[in-house]
Amino acid sequence: MIKSNLDLKLLEKCAGCGACYSICPSCVIIPGYDPREVIKDILAGEFDKWLDSKHIWQCLECHYCLEMCYQHYGFENAMTALRTIATKRGKYPPQVKRGWDMFAKSSRLGEPAMPARKKFGLPEPKASGKDEFLKLHELVLKAREAEAKKTGTDRG
Amino acid sequence: MKDFAVFWGCTIQARFPFLEKSSRIVFEDFELPYKEIDGFTCCPEKSLIDNVDHEMFVVTAARNVALADEKGIDIVSPCTGCVSNLATVKGELESNPKEKETVNNLLKEIGREFDGSAKLSHLVPFFHDSVGVHKIKQTIKKNFEGMKISAHYGCHMIRPSHALRNDDPIDPVKYDNLIRALGAEAVETDTKLMCCGQGLDRVDQHDNALHMARMKLKELIAAGADALTVCCPSCFLQFDNNQFLMMREGEKLGLPVIYFTELLGLALGHTAEELGLTAHRVSAEPFLKKWAALTGDNQTEINDGLNAVGEL
Ligand code: SF4
Ligand code: SF4
């Protein structure tokens, strides 16, 4: 699975580089946050131990490493890959779960605040695409199921 | 100028409707051809949705872009996250025809098609490039001469640059140019490019989020800034709401956080009340008072009840 999420060749170069460590805000600010360690473990095939770690959620997805990286790759990709695997195994911070559930149910992460809109004299908000979105979600799940049956693998 | 649909995003409409208010005011004053269309959903938000299900992240964003595509209009958003997420997916599909085909096969079943013809812009680069600094200077009625304002671009206004192409991703200038166009001094800081840190609140790491907000606020206060300006609801939440929470615990902060549309609205002659600045958690009053003194304005313009409706 990690191989389908990551380009290990690029990551190998990354392991020997480390240049973006000093500009990564989380590396500088959060004790114990160090994607270099994570990348080493990914390359050694021992990333499992990071799936429960809060550190993989401390990447801010600020894309700074990506922009500074001579490979235009970045720490970020390693952290994102581990978060994706962690969520597939049901390991995520409660707020992420709440956010996802609200999204899947309503197509949004919050509904327009009607009383406040009135106070500010704002017009009726436009309709959301909820129904179409729910249908689309169903189609995606169905297609995934069909694909899983065909290949005999669970793409999760 | 081509017509554009405003993509408000979930956060502005759910938590900060006053930011919608000031955006509408500046759109009207500049007579911009903005449209509102039915059918938008969450962009979707990357850290919550993409981490859980990349495919849903992609098809949802593609569907949103398709709504503008089929009307032949562009998209402009006052939220950096929305633009960045939509643009990331647009870029992914444009560079991967096979994935685009798969996505369009799904969209076809709900009667949509993504072609990516809609141009996606964030409000700040949009004002800089499409409205233009010259036009802004001509249109404003008051300027901020004597005021020191620092821009927090917000990561997703400028990165990832391969998808956005809004500004230089590590040395951006457009927001600063706009501050100068409004007559203020654009304060440069070491934390200019640092992420606001609000993302940490979304993954239950509140203390780390506060720590990052504090770093920037302290630097700006030490630099003598009169205000921090942002144009992202997530950054606004971080610097306004989280600053308020730290102040409630006794920390000495109190730097006004002014949305780009509010700053522009003030320069266009609108009052703080009209623009909804009264709804901020951290009072904008020190900024407004200093400005009123500099411009010789009658201070009665600033309502005593300022900050009275901050419980949104
Ligand atoms: S994207 Fe993540 S790893 Fe990269 S610089 Fe930002 S916080 Fe650090
Ligand atoms: S992400 Fe790029 S710049 Fe950073 S350590 Fe890896 S290879 Fe080097």
**Residues A48 and A109 both lie in one domain:** no
Under 8 Å CB pairs connecting chains A and B tally to 175
Report the number of distinct structural domains present in chain B.
2
- What is the mean pLDDT of the segment spanning B83-95? 96
Q: Residue B306 pLDDT > 80, yes or no?
A: no
Bridge pairing between strands B227-230 and B185-186: unpaired
**Residues B33 and B167 both lie in one domain:** no
CATH (domain of B299): 3.40.50.11810
Q: Which ipTM did the prediction report?
A: 0.91
| pLDDT attached to residue B309 | 42
**Residues B97 and B153 both lie in one domain:** no
| pLDDT attached to residue A153 | 59
Distance CA B263, CA B102 (A): 44
- What is the mean pLDDT of the segment spanning B69-98? 96
Partners of residue B149 on adjacent β-strands: B186, B227
**Residues A68 and A117 both lie in one domain:** no
- What is the mean pLDDT of the segment spanning B136-155? 97
DSSP SS3 for A64 = helix
- What is the mean pLDDT of the segment spanning B54-77? 97
Residue B312 domain-assigned? no
Alpha-carbon distance A16 to nearest alpha carbon in chain B (angstroms): 23
**Residues B115 and B196 both lie in one domain:** no
Q: Give the pTM.
A: 0.93
**CA torsion sign, B63 to B67 to B68 to B70?**
positive
| pLDDT attached to residue B305 | 45
Give me the residue from A57, A116, A132 closest to B39, CB to CB.
A132
Is the CB of residue A60 below 6 angstroms from any atom belonging to ligand 2?
Answer: no
**Residues B180 and B242 both lie in one domain:** yes
Q: Residue B297 pLDDT > 90, yes or no?
A: no
Supply the range of the domain harboring residue A63: 2-88
Partners of residue B77 on adjacent β-strands: B122
Which of the 8 DSSP states describes residue B122?
A: E
Supply the range of the domain harboring residue B40: 4-122
| pLDDT attached to residue B170 | 87
**Residues B140 and B253 both lie in one domain:** yes
User: Each residue's pLDDT tens digit in chain A (156 positions)?
Assistant: 677 778 899 999 998 898 899 999 999 999 999 999 999 999 999 999 999 999 999 999 999 999 999 998 889 999 999 999 999 999 988 888 999 999 999 999 999 999 999 999 999 999 999 999 999 999 999 999 998 898 875 544
**Residues B147 and B107 both lie in one domain:** no
Distance CA B155, CA A60 (A): 10
